[in-house]
Amino acid sequence: MNYKKLLKSKKFKIAVWGTGYIGLSTMVYFSKRKIKCVGYDISKEKIKKINSGVLPLSDLKNWFGFDIKGLVKQNYLRATNNYKDLITKDFLVHFIAIPTEKDGKPYYKPLLDVLSNISKINKNNKNPPLVIVESTLAPKVSDKKIIPFLNKRNLVVGKNILLSIAPRRDWFIEGGKNLENLDRVYGSTDVRSTKVTKDVLSIVCKKLHVASSYKVSEMVKSVENAYRHMDITLANQLSLAFPKDNIREVLKLVGTKWNLETFHPGIGAGGYCIPLSSRYILSQVKNVNKLSLLRETIKTDDSMSKSISNSIARKGLKQIGILGLSYKGDLKVSVLSKVIPLVKSLLKKKLKVRLFDPYFTKKEIYKAVKVKTFNFPKDLKKFDCLIVTVDHKQFKIQKKILEKYLKKCKLIIDHDGAWKKYNLKNNYYLSGNRGWI
């Protein structure tokens, strides 16, 4: 049977496990195509918000470009915290979008919890349900964890359950980089799973690339991000090796070459994907002499915060203001943000640190970095060093006001160029330019 037709017939639905950035966007895009989606999450707050038509992640509103209220009202979109709602026969597809990381390391308890719930489905189904794993996996996790787990519960892939690994590449800051438009790679365990996955994903994704196997698609996500991790870290190594040169400018011009991208030095790589990618790969490689490039990448990336705080302490600066907790501008995500180790290193040097981020409450800031927040822009005058870690639009205030509060500041490090257009005086450094470290 064609699963696309079955879903469009409205007799069948899609189950989504985990309703965060990835899961919620899956639900929203499929429900926009008039397919009923029900999401399960352990967060009651998220469920309540979704069911009342409110986005639990407000920054997603700009990315979607539309409201979810209508979809909820028409009953295409719903959320629950009762997993039993999702294991009935009318759920033809199960997307898995739960976290696979904890404290910067691969972590699979939520994945196994979800698989345990899914394995309670009816095992004699004419249309075996298709499981599509969207969460990022380390290489080999399907073979070592997912398939044996299902087998133990009398679920045989290709027979009474279908399985595909289809990682995501969304960029929740730019509206166009979404589920519809981005190239999507998927790989399955068998011919039937491959065919059915194409039926399902093609409802939303315009450009699909099929891998010869789930083992390949599983590795793609970590490997593509490990390349970025190395590129970003090479920019940092260059900056540390040539502190008296404008490496940022060098790299900007390097990026004008037709087959190269521009990377800039800074506090290191943050977020779910990039810093984890090398760790995901290495978690499956026992021989410590292999993949030395990735090992070195992690080492340098993790040491950037220490190098920056050492440099600030050497300059005799004492009052440090940090602008931004998110790992990326205009997003409320602090997962593996390099600001966290940076604050830790500065505190270790006995420096006074305050942090402001308009996306986080003072309580959330304290919980993440154990320092107090400050009033922006008024309190900028209190600092002799400012580090602007991201380019949130709220940081881009009038030049006159900014200059008024920056009079006493001796060092400003700007990571993403939030204040670049103001041509601030000679105490202003884009990270990577001469004298920033």
Ligand X SMILES: NC(=O)c1ccc[n+]([C@@H]2O[C@H](COP(=O)([O-])OP(=O)(O)OC[C@H]3O[C@@H](n4cnc5c(N)ncnc54)[C@H](O)[C@@H]3O)[C@@H](O)[C@H]2O)c1
CA distance 413 to 389: 8
> Which lies closer to ligand X via its Cβ, residue 222 or residue 246?
222
Site string for ligand X, 37-76 (x = CB under 6 A): ---xxxx--x------------------------------
Taken as a whole, the chain contains a residue count of 437
Select the span of 35-43, 186-194, 293-301, 377-385 touching ligand X (CB under 6 A).
35-43
Kindly state the smallest distance separating residue 147's Cβ from ligand X, in Å. Answer: 18
CB of 188 or CB of 222, closer to ligand X: 222
Rounded Cα gap, residues 212 and 288, in angstroms: 29
In terms of Cβ atoms closer than 10 Å to its own Cβ (0-12, 13-18, 19+), residue 269 is: buried
Alpha carbons 275 and 98: distance in angstroms, whole number: 18
Establish if 136 lies at the interface with ligand X (CB under 6 A): yes
* 106 scored as a contact of ligand X (CB under 6 A): no
Judged by CB under 6 A, the residue of 18, 129, 265, 266 near ligand X is: 18
Neighbours of 65 (CB within 10 A): 10
For residue 386, list its beta bridge partners.
321, 412
Give the contacts of 231 (CB within 8 A, at least 6 positions apart).
261, 263
- Residue number of the CB closest to ligand X reads 20
Q: How far apart (Å, rounded) are the C-alpha atoms in residues 88 and 224? A: 36
User: Does position 280 bind ligand X by CB under 6 A?
Assistant: no
Range in contact with ligand X (rule: CB under 6 A) among 97-105, 262-270, 387-395, 411-419? 97-105
Selected range binding ligand X among 92-100, 245-253, 311-319, 348-356, rule: CB under 6 A: 92-100
Alpha-carbon gap, residue 215 to 77, rounded angstroms:
32
Position among 64, 80, 85, 113 found at the interface with ligand X (CB under 6 A): 113
Site track for ligand X across 141-170, x = CB under 6 A: ---------------------------x-x
Q: Which residues pair with residue 16 across a beta bridge? A: 39, 95
Looking at beta carbons only, is 268 or 432 nearer to ligand X?
268
According to the binding rule CB under 6 A, does residue 435 interact with ligand X?
A: no
Alpha helix segments (H runs only) across 213-257: 214-241, 247-254
Cβ atoms within 10 Å of 426's Cβ, excluding its own:
6
Main-chain phi, psi angles of 118, to 5 degrees: -65, -35
Tell which one of 26, 31, 100, 305 touches ligand X (CB under 6 A).
100
For residue 202, the minimal CB distance to ligand X (Å) is: 20
Task: List residues bridging with 133 in a β-sheet.
Answer: 96, 165
Q: Give 72's contacts (C-beta < 8 A, 6+ positions apart).
A: 50, 51, 52, 53, 78
Return the residue of 12, 14, 20, 387 that touches ligand X, per CB under 6 A. 20
Q: Is residue 184 within 8 Å of residue 26, measured between CB atoms?
A: no
Q: Are 210 and 194 in contact (CB under 8 A)?
A: yes
Q: How far is the CB of 43 from ligand X (least distance, A)?
A: 4
How crowded is residue 432: how many other Cβ atoms within 10 Å of its Cβ?
Answer: 27
Residue 139 contacts ligand X per CB under 6 A: no
37, 71, 114, 155: residue in contact with ligand X (rule CB under 6 A) = 114
Token duo for residue 1: 């049977």
Which range in 12-20, 200-208, 235-243, 306-314 contacts ligand X by CB under 6 A? 12-20
- 275 vs 432, beta carbon nearer ligand X: 275
CA pair distance 415, 420, nearest whole angstrom: 10
The residue among 22 and 437 lying less far from ligand X, judged by its C-beta, is 22
Is 117 exposed, middle or buried, given 0-12, 13-18 or 19+ CB atoms closer than 10 A? middle
Q: Which of 3, 14, 15, 17 binds ligand X (CB under 6 A)?
A: 17
State yes or no: residue 217 binds ligand X (CB under 6 A): no
Query: Cβ closer to ligand X: 114 or 365?
Result: 114
- In angstroms, what is the minimal distance from the CB of 22 to ligand X? 3
- Contact status: 22 vs ligand X (CB under 6 A): yes
Chain residues binding ligand X by CB under 6 A are: 17-23, 40-43, 46, 97-100, 110, 113-114, 134-136, 168, 170, 172, 272-273
